[in-house]
Amino acid sequence: MEDHRVRFPDASYCIADNNQTVDTTRCTGNAETYTDSDTTEGAINVKGLPAGTYTLVETVAPVLHELPDAADAWYTFTISEDGVASDIADAKGGTTMLTDASGTSMNTIGDTRATGSATWKKTDIAGNALGGSTWKVTFCPDSSPNSCDEPVTITDWAPTDGSATHTECSATWACDTDSAAGSFKLTSLPWGTYTPVEQKAPNGYVADTTPRTFTIVRSKAADPIDATQLAKDVGSTENEISITSLPMTGGEWTPRNVALIGISALVLAAVSYGIVKRRRRG
């Protein structure tokens, strides 16, 4: 059937994946003339385009994804007089177009995943902040949850010069960005699971080596995207004071250990006293 709709040069059209409601605050073109005929998530197929050159721009990214930089956001394609569409090209020469192993365009525009963050605190048993602890964090990406990266070391960052930005963190997520002693914040976290374990406690305290696993967005690719897991509060980890003056014991002791030993000694003494007293009566 011949298409008699009138088309105007330099007109703008808005198309949403699977024909969802168009955000008219982000796309101000005609939202009714053309629609997506492909029901596959993330695939858009527009039919009936007249011959000409088209400029394509993504205005709203999928959930938990970010739009490409403005310089890379424009793409072009042409429709020939006989209705053949060219490959989509990156008009700015950016790197957001995906290609196959041979370098051939897949007509696929890649969006960047939104990254997450995680926070936790290090305190004594009274809730007072303790600076100076060191942690090992193991990351298992959602794309390969059973093939985890080597653990990385995270050291409590507590600058004394008033610095508000940790410049060493610009190139990696494995870096504490919170300047307060005893407070940790990891940013730019890729999707997957993380397991922090305290390796070195603050001076004078015993490390709590309990693993504290958390997830950013999803633990494996088969899981649904969960926007509530983009920012995680891992909670607070308490350290007990280390007592190292007990003779001939080795290792580190805490007041709780000493108290338990003291109670055990008292119980043993009471039992021994009872046995001796009973024997004397006999």
Q: CB count, 10 Å around CB of 189? A: 21
State the pLDDT confidence band at 199, using cuts at 50, 70 and 90. Answer: very high
More confident residue, 258 or 94: 94
Domain 116-241 sits in CATH 2.60.40.10: yes
Helix (H) or strand (E) holding 214: strand 214-216
Place of tokens 């088209």: 54
Q: What is the pTM of this model?
A: 0.73
Q: What is the mean pLDDT of the chain?
A: 81
The whole-angstrom separation of Cα 43 and Cα 67 is 17
Predicted local distance difference test score (pLDDT) of residue 95 = 52
Q: Say yes or no to pLDDT of 246 above 50.
A: no
Asked whether the predicted pLDDT for residue 19 surpasses 90, the reply is no
Query: What does the pLDDT read at residue 256?
Result: 53
Domains of the chain by residue range: 116-241
Neighbours of 186 (CB within 10 A): 26
Can you read off the two tokens belonging to residue 28?
């101000």
pLDDT in tens, 82-115: 988 888 887 765 556 676 677 666 777 778 899 9
Identify the weakest region by mean pLDDT among 28-42, 139-153, 251-265.
251-265
Contact of 192 with 141, CB cutoff 8 Å: yes
Q: What average pLDDT does the segment 67-74 reach? A: 67
3-state secondary structure of 105: strand
> Which residues, 6 or more positions from 123, have their beta carbon under 8 angstroms from its beta carbon?
129, 130, 182, 236, 237, 238, 239
**Of residues 196 and 68, more confidently modeled:** 196
Between residues 249 and 192, which one has the greater pLDDT?
Answer: 192
40-64: per-residue pLDDT in tens? 888 888 888 889 988 888 888 888 9
Note the pLDDT of residue 28. 81
Percent of the chain topping pLDDT 90: 41
Q: Are strands 116-124 and 231-241 parallel, antiparallel or unpaired?
A: parallel
Task: Locate 177 and state its tokens.
Answer: 């960005």
Give the C-alpha separation, 250 to 265, whole Å: 19
Tokens of 124: 């004594």
In this structure, are residues 123 and 237 in contact, taking their beta carbons and an 8 Å threshold? yes
